[in-house]
Structures are given as C-alpha cells and as structure tokens.
Amino acid sequence: MTSLTEFAADETVAEIFADYALRYPSSHRTYLGGSAIGDPCGRRLWLKFRWVQIEQFEGRMLRLFQTGHLAEPRFVEDLRNVGIEVLDVDPSTGKQFAVSFLGGHLRGHADGAALGIKGAEKTWHLLEFKTHSAKSFATLQAKGVQEAKPQHWAQMQLYMHGLELTRAYYLAVNKNTDELYGERIHYDKDAAETLVDRGRRIIFASEPPAPISDRPDWYECKMCSLHQFCHKADHRQELPDVNCRTCIHSTPTEDGGWICEQSKKALTVADQREGCHLHLWMPSLFPSLEYTHADESGDGTITAVHYTGPAGAVVNDHAGRMQPWF
C-alpha cells in the first residue's frame, strides 16, 4: 500500500490537467494577433499565421494561461475601488475592445480603458494587465515595460493606434508576492505604424522571413516549437499540418479573406482548416530539402513538387504525403 506521505504522481492532479487539455483544445488562430506582433522573430509569426503546426500545450500550461485571465477582473476591481472609471467592455458592442488592421488579418483585443489614472486623470488610457513570475517582475521594475517586455509595449502601441488613444496604463502583478507594478505608456505613432507595416509584410509574404538566427543552437531557436521549419538538418523533420494555409495554392487577400489560386474559390475558415486533395506543401516549409521542379497537368494544375534531400529525390505528390521521406 502506498503511503500518503510518499512523493508520487498524483492521479487527481493528473486528471485535473487532462481535463484542461480536453476543455481547451489547441487550434490555429485565424489571424495574426496584436499580442504577438512584437515577437522578435518574424519567421515564427509567419509560420503561425500559415498554420504550419498547432502548438500543443499540456494541461499545466493551459491552467497557467487561465490564471492570467482570472486576474483580469481583480485588476478591474482594484482600479474601481480607488475611484478610477473602468470600461472592461466596449459600450458600443458589449464585448471586449477590439482593433483590426489589414482587412482583419491583424487583430487584437484590449483589456479595457480607464479614466482617472494618476498623472493624467482627464485622459482615457488603454488598459493592459499582465501576470509575472518573480524574476520577470524584478526585471520589469528595474527596466520598465519597453525594455523589459518589448512585446507587451508593442502590443499597447498597436492597440492605442487602433483605438485612437494616446496613453496606456500597464498594470502587472508578481504572482509570488501579489506586489503590483503600474506604468503609464505614451503613444508612439511611428512605432505603431511600423508594427502595422510589419504585419503587412508578414501576412502577405509568399515566403517566410529569415530566422532570427542562422544558428539552430541559438537559445531563442532551441526554445521554439517551430525551429524544425527554419534550419537545415540531416534528419527527418515532422511534416507540416495539412490545411489551405500551408498549400502552395492559397493566398491571403486585402479584404481579410483567403483565396485558392487553383480553383479561384474564396476560402471560408472551415475550408482552410480542412484543405483538399489538391493540397501541396509550400517548398519553403522544408529547409533541409532543395526544390527542383513541379509537375503540371494539361490544364495547368500543379500535381507534384520535386525536391532533393540528404537521401536523394523526394516528391510531394498527394495531400499529406512526401515520398520517400528522408
């Protein structure tokens, strides 16, 4: 009989985490998120926007994400308790404040807006709430948002731009101690427009940007779940997901949609997720293979894409199939 004092994997805890995985299944986001636009690696943004591979999160991480969401109502209550007017939803929609650019391909949702923030009481501020580990919080205190968390700073610039606000208030909590950090952020029009331009370059690029480093052992690359789609290797990589966005035939449109260049059909989100029998992967998704040529039928339909790799010839001649795979 196992003693209750023995350290072992607890079945109840395992079930809790398994439940999170069931209730919050991973899926591809339909747009490039404003919270990610400040990511230093443009290639990672492109690969995610192109639905190359769903990032699978274990139950513990999903619970951690939920912890961040649960903190938001408490932040709102804290602000209201000291006399600050807080709008946690857009009065015109009854939903979260939303920003949209590039036809809706670049989007985001703000935590709220506030009036009465000390230092500029008569100016409406965008609200951004974050939870931090003790180490991250100490860096934030020492360096401020722009230097310590440039991706959060970029997110606020984009949201201020979309909501036509000139100030933001960043409120963060140390998850270990409940210590709070607040900082007012000024709108930087040039920075915001640069971020929108960056989104445009990523969204409408037919080829991915260069990796953040040409070294596969670079620390940011090693920690990235998509690193295998960036660097050459002499071993077999996992195949990308099969969907319209990883297919050579699909193109995003200026109005926020997608079109299949082969069928000339506008693609719904359901279409994009499902793909079709004509699916062929974009050659740029295989950094260890060298594209050689494509086969076409009499009507111009591309029927196969040929490569050479470490073990010789490889052909993608059917949806979801590379043969022989190295």
Q: Return the closest-CA partner of residue 211 out of 39, 32, 35, 27.
A: 39
Q: Residue for token digits 């073990």?
A: 311
Q: Return the closest-CA partner of residue 40 out of 219, 232, 170, 160.
A: 219
Query: Residue 92: what residue type?
Result: S
What is the SS3 assignment for 154-212? HHHHHHHHHHCCCEEEEEEEECCCCCEEEEEEECCHHHHHHHHHHHHHHHCCCCCCCCC
Backbone angles phi, psi at 294, to 5 degrees: -125, 145
Examine the pLDDT at 8 and tell me if it is beyond 60.
no
Longest dimension (CA), the chain: 73
CB neighbours of 242 closer than 8 A, spacing ≥ 6? 275, 279, 319, 320
Query: What is the CATH code for 12-201?
Result: 3.90.320.10
DSSP helix/strand/coil, 15:
helix
E strand segments, the chain: 32-33, 85-87, 98-101, 106-109, 112-115, 125-132, 167-174, 180-186, 250-252, 258-260, 265-267, 290-296, 302-309, 312-318, 321-323
Pairing between strand 180-186 and 167-174? antiparallel
Q: What's the confidence (pLDDT) of residue 3?
A: 53
Mean pLDDT calculated for residue range 258-272: 96
Q: What's the confidence (pLDDT) of residue 234?
A: 64
Distance, CA of 237 to CA of 112 (rounded, Å) = 42
Mean pLDDT calculated for residue range 50-78: 93
Q: Return the closest-CA partner of residue 180 out of 118, 108, 239, 130.
A: 130
| Choice between 49 and 288, residue whose per-residue pLDDT is larger | 49
Instruction: For the sheet with 258-260, list strands across it.
Output: 250-252, 258-260, 265-267
As a whole-number percent, the residues of the chain with pLDDT over 70 amount to 96
Query: Residue 23: what residue type?
Result: R
| Cα–Cα separations (whole angstroms), residue 283 to 8, 31, 246, 314, 316 | 47, 22, 10, 12, 10
Domain residue ranges in the chain: 12-201, 233-323
Mean pLDDT calculated for residue range 178-199: 98
Q: What's the confidence (pLDDT) of residue 7?
A: 52
Examine the pLDDT at 4 and tell me if it is beyond 70.
no
Examine the pLDDT at 63 and tell me if it is beyond 50.
yes
Could you read off the pLDDT of 85-142 as tens digits, one per residue? 999 999 999 999 999 999 999 999 999 999 999 999 999 999 999 999 999 999 999 9
Could you read off the pLDDT of 235-262 as tens digits, one per residue? 678 899 999 999 999 999 999 999 999 9
Backbone angles phi, psi at 74, to 5 degrees: -70, -40
Q: Residue for token digits 């490039």?
A: 32
Could you read off the pLDDT of 211-231 as tens digits, one per residue? 999 999 999 999 999 999 999
User: Whole-model pTM?
Assistant: 0.92
